[in-house]
Amino acid sequence: MNGYQNVLRVTIMGLVILEVTVANPFYTDKWAVHVEGGERVARSLADKYGFVYLDQIMPDYYHFQHRKVAKRSIQPSNYHHKTLASDPNIKWLEQQVAKKRIKRDIHFNDPKWPIMWYLNRGSGLDMNVSHAWRMGYTGRGVVVTILDDGIEKDHPDLAKNYDHDASYDVNGHDHDPQPRYDYSNENRHGTRCAGEVAAQADNGVCNVGVAFNARIGGVRMLDGDVTDSVEAQSLSLNPQHIDIYSASWGPDDDGRTVDGPATLARKAFYDGITKGRDGKGSIFVWASGNGGRDGDNCNCDGYTNSIYTLSISSVTENGNIPWYSEACSSTLATTYSSGSGGEKQIVTTDLRRGCTENHTGTSASAPLAAGLIALGLEANPRLTWRDMQHIVVETAKPYRLKASDWVTNGVGKNVSHSFGFGLMDAGSIAALARNWTTVPAQHICEIRSPDHNRIIPTNGKITVPLYTNSCQGSASHVKYLEHVQARITMTSSRRGEIQIFLTSPAGTKSTLLAKRVRDTSREGFNNWAFMTTHNWGEFAEGTWFLEIENGASSFRPVRLRDWVLVLYGTERHPWKKKIPARPGRAPPTRMPIIKYPSHKPYTTRPSTTSTKNTNNWPSNRKIWPLYRKYWNPFLQNPASKSSTYARHKSHHAPHPAHMCVYETLAKKSNISALQYIRMIRPNLTAGKNYAELKEWTLVVMGTGTHPMKDNHTPTINTGHAFTCAGIKSNGICIECKPGYFKLGDGCVAHCPQHYFGSVEAVRLVSPNQANHSRPLVRTQGICAPCHSSCLTCRQARMEDCFQCSDGYERKNNLCQKKMIWDFLDPDVMKHLAWAIILCIGAIILFSVLFGLLQARDHRKLCWSAKRFYIPDLAKGHYNGVSRTSHDDPENLSESGSSRSSGSARTVSTDSQERV
């Protein structure tokens, strides 16, 4: 019994020591000391009291150490502290306490986690996933399914998160999506995509999924004949259970195919966004395509070109456009993937319970996007399919993505055909999703152009304007744009030579279709809907311009038979940032108007029951504080003690810093700690202990005037009245408002082609000009001309081109004039080259044969000079030479040369005799 008691005592003492150790800080053997007079004075004081001078912390603050004090102690060294404090030269001192600080890096024991560069390298280069994880979002409660060639449901990194209800084998007509195994592992695609989304974290296996607590399913539908019914069945699988469908497939990326969903698949998409997720809409994530090498354009892919899908492209680890990437105006955003040789690829699960570091292409980008969206859905499960598209647009980051076609649309959003609105940001998605308000209902406005049956000649172009009031006065009125479509019907003898551009009333130009050199089809386009996201947020009303170009290699003119402009958006602004109201500009001595509910301190007693209202302050817990102002000595200006605000004098700051401090007189108010916790984060829990609020202080810091001049709300360029800060009597604009550029006699929101945005100094006319020693000058934006070789540029030099003008091409980072053969079609060049080679070969062969024949006739070849000596025994001659008794082979060989001439003559004589 005594043994058990001793063990119990030791255990209790250990727990007490542990509690004391955890609760109390550790005091070190170092002090921070404030001493005036410099380092020499500090060193002398340290020596005087037995301390060691270590170094300077900051001006007049020094680091001392006492060697006879324990390096870590739960008790402060009062003796040495008081001894040092007794010196009048020491203004302040403090024994330093060892504080516990945790590195906020996230570490997992999964073996491939250290090389998952796209999730853990920081510096804004990893899609900010760790920030969303720190906020507590890991995809829990969200269901994602991979539409592909199956999923290895028993993979050790997927088994825990596998969802049977989100899986089906469409090819095999059963509920087992296990892929078909073969020697080449060709059906590994779906398993790889699934691991990117929901591979289990911290289990010591392979990699970490972006949403590692999400449920993951798979649909086996690519390992067989893919028909319209197969696609529709896959897209409509269990839409009330599945939140996100991820697809990394589409029509052939060969640069010549134009194809999209057929009747049943289109219905599945529409039913998904209208009925899925209890009416909030299924979310479809699609890879934009890998046909970059073949010059393909993803606007010819009806899946990525759909308004119902989030089309995702790729960017390499160095921020470059991958060689396989397709550029098009329907791309919404981008995530990381593989690049050229030497650039890293994506780490994920692989077939046969394996792991790979070599997942590539936009096939890897779409699942990453699906995982990021899952984090946003966990933060706010009420988001609709359009809410999620808005959030992705608002949070995508264009920084460090290298493309020459970045433009700023009419509301200040940066957008590119290669990257959409930029790299997806998980932390921003989750933060914005948390407090998101559902966007207004979608309106659709269709305007058919009256200008049809237009002819575009070979190597020519047309521009078709179309004005719209965006269906004002009807239930279809669209004021704020989301997606824009141009449904076009046209004929062509060579479809790949056609280029189509659409320019919005705000001046944003989208490339709906780029030239595709491999597309030799004569079919043209039949009511094909080209879609752009580049006008997101712009006003819809105004004149739109459709521009169509027909290339030089087209055999016949192109005929534009019909086109319809389709505007998708809302009548009301889809969302507003909640910005706290600020008081108007007022004299510095005037107090801001603050209404107090009561000036009587009010305290409450803790209640025995807790409130269920977690969104608002409980009605039975109100505390009305009484405020009084006091001065902060660090910010007070002695010259203006009567001022309500303390001013900080600075010759460098454009505005004086202001500080308004209020101290509450409400003290000893017993508040339930549980209520505070619930008010801040509803899903947290706490104990039932109560904390006593003794005193609190509200400190408000800011400026007396608005720190930013003028209003920076994006505006649309609709005339001088809205864009010019100063207009002459003749209507010429002399100065532009902030955010606009001076061009000619007016102002524009964006500089056109052949110009770049720059600044110039503007001399201001002031009624008090005579009182100034210098003229008043400020800068304004202007559109300066690019070099003649540049279509778009960043400066006026020829080496600063982004895009080259017509007749120029980029060589050695310069736009240089094209040679004549640069204008020829590659197929024509190939045929022409073969024709030239055959012609040259024929000429060479003819020349050789002709030369040989000529040489033979003139006896200049060795074989033409040879004679065959045939004996004529009847005449007693040897090749025309009379043979005598003394002729023998030795004599013939020795006098051969003299005989040759004689023989020739003899032969000639013999010939005459035969005649």
pLDDT tens for residues 813-849? 678 877 655 555 566 677 788 889 999 999 999 999 8
- Please give the Cα distance from 790 to 552 (Å, whole number): 22
Please give the C-alpha separations between residue 375 and each of 134, 148, 425, 887, in angstroms, as whole numbers. Answer: 12, 22, 11, 114
Tens-digit pLDDT profile for residues 755-795: 888 777 655 544 444 444 444 456 678 888 888 888 888 77
Tokens at 717, concatenated: 């360029």
| Closest to 372 measured CA to CA, from 346, 324, 348, 336 | 336
Structure tokens at 835: 């024709």
Look up residue 784 and give its amino acid. Answer: A
Neighbour-count burial for 793-811, b at 16+ CB within 10 Å, e otherwise? beeeebebbbebbeebeee
Question: Which is it for strands 733-736 and 690-693: parallel, antiparallel or unpaired?
Answer: unpaired
Q: Measure Cα distances from 252 to 235, 285, 286 in Å.
A: 19, 18, 15
* Closest of 72, 24, 90 to residue 81, by C-alpha: 90
* Rounded-to-integer distance, Cα 606 and Cα 689, Å: 10
Active-site annotation holder among 63, 66, 80, 189: 189
Residue at 45: amino acid letter: L
- CA separation for the pair 658, 636 (Å, rounded): 9
Q: What does the alpha-carbon distance between residue 186 and residue 169 come to, in Å, rounded to a whole number?
A: 17
Tell me, what's the pLDDT at 513?
97
In the structure, how many helices (H) and strands (E) does the chain have?
Answer: 16, 43
Separation between Cα atoms, residue 334 and residue 244, nearest integer Å: 17
For residues 686 and 669, give the distance between their C-alpha atoms in angstroms, rounded to a whole number.
19
Task: For residue 483, give both structure tokens.
Answer: 């997606």
Joined together, the tokens standing for residue 233 give 């069945």
Q: What Cα–Cα distance (Å) separates residue 765 from each residue in 483, 584, 733, 760?
A: 45, 28, 15, 16
Tell how strand 542-550 and strand 460-468 pair up: antiparallel
Rounded to 10 degrees, the C-alpha dihedral 636/639/642/644 comes to -40
Structure tokens at 446: 């269709």
Q: What is the longest distance spanned by two Cα atoms in the chain? A: 161
Q: CA-CA distance, 627 to 618, in Å (whole number)?
A: 22
Catalytic residue flag (residue 254): no
Catalytic: 34? no
| Residues present in the chain in total | 915
Closest to 343 measured CA to CA, from 385, 396, 402, 395: 402
Residue 669 known to be catalytic: no
The catalytic residue among 314, 363, 492, 672 is 363
Residue type, 595: K
Alpha carbon separation from 170 to 149, 250, 264, 363, 896 (Å, rounded)? 10, 17, 15, 20, 96
Q: Report the distance separating Cα 670 and Cα 694, nearest Å.
A: 8
pLDDT in the model for residue 547: 97
C-alpha distance from residue 776 to each of 143, 655, 725, 734 (Å): 62, 19, 16, 15
The burial of 859, by beta-carbon neighbours within 10 Å (0-12 exposed, 13-18 middle, 19 or more buried), is given as exposed
* Cα distance between residue 855 and residue 862, in whole Å: 10
What CA–CA distance (Å, rounded) separates 437 from 434?
Answer: 9
| 71, 77 Cβ separation under 8 angstroms | no
Instruction: Report helix, strand or coil for 760.
Output: strand
Of all helices (H) and strands (E), which one includes residue 228? helix 228-235
Round to whole Å and give the CA distance between 247 and 251. Answer: 12
Residues 327 and 338: their CA atoms lie apart, in Å, by 16
Specify which residues 143 forms β-bridges with. 215
d(CA 846, CA 670): 111
Domains (ranges, CATH) in the chain?
2-98 (3.30.70.850), 131-434 (3.40.50.200), 443-570 (2.60.120.260), 619-703 (no CATH), 720-767+779-823 (2.10.220.10), 867-914 (no CATH)
Quote the CA–CA distance of 405 and 509 in Å, as a whole number.
11
Token digits of residue 11 = 């255990």
Distances (CA, A) of 164 to 154, 199, 219, 290, 310: 12, 16, 10, 31, 25
Give residue for tokens 């009031």.
Answer: 469
Task: Give pLDDT, residue 111.
Answer: 96
Residues lower than pLDDT 50 in the chain: 18-22, 578-690, 709-719, 765-776, 865-869, 873-875, 877-915
Would you say 681 and 662 are in contact if contact means Cβ atoms under 8 Å apart? no
Q: In sequence order, which residues have a C-beta less than 8 Å from that of residue 533 and are 6 or more positions away?
A: 329, 330, 331, 332, 393, 415, 420, 421, 482, 483, 484
Q: Could you say which DSSP state residue 534 is in?
A: T
| Assigned token pair, 495 | 């479809």
* Residue 288 backbone phi and psi in degrees, to 5: -75, -20
Contacts (Cβ under 8 Å, ≥6 apart) of 440: 570, 571, 572, 574
Please, are residues 650 and 703 in contact by the beta-carbon 8 Å criterion? no
Contact between 93 and 62 (Cβ < 8 Å)? no
| Neighbouring-strand partners of residue 910 | none
Give Cβ neighbours of residue 403 (< 8 Å, ≥ 6 apart): 321, 416, 417, 418, 419
Could you give the 3-state DSSP secondary structure of residue 12? helix
CA 528 to CA 488: how far, in whole Å? 5
- Cα gap 694→385, rounded to integer Å: 48
Q: Of residues 29, 110, 126, 148, which has the active-site annotation?
A: 148
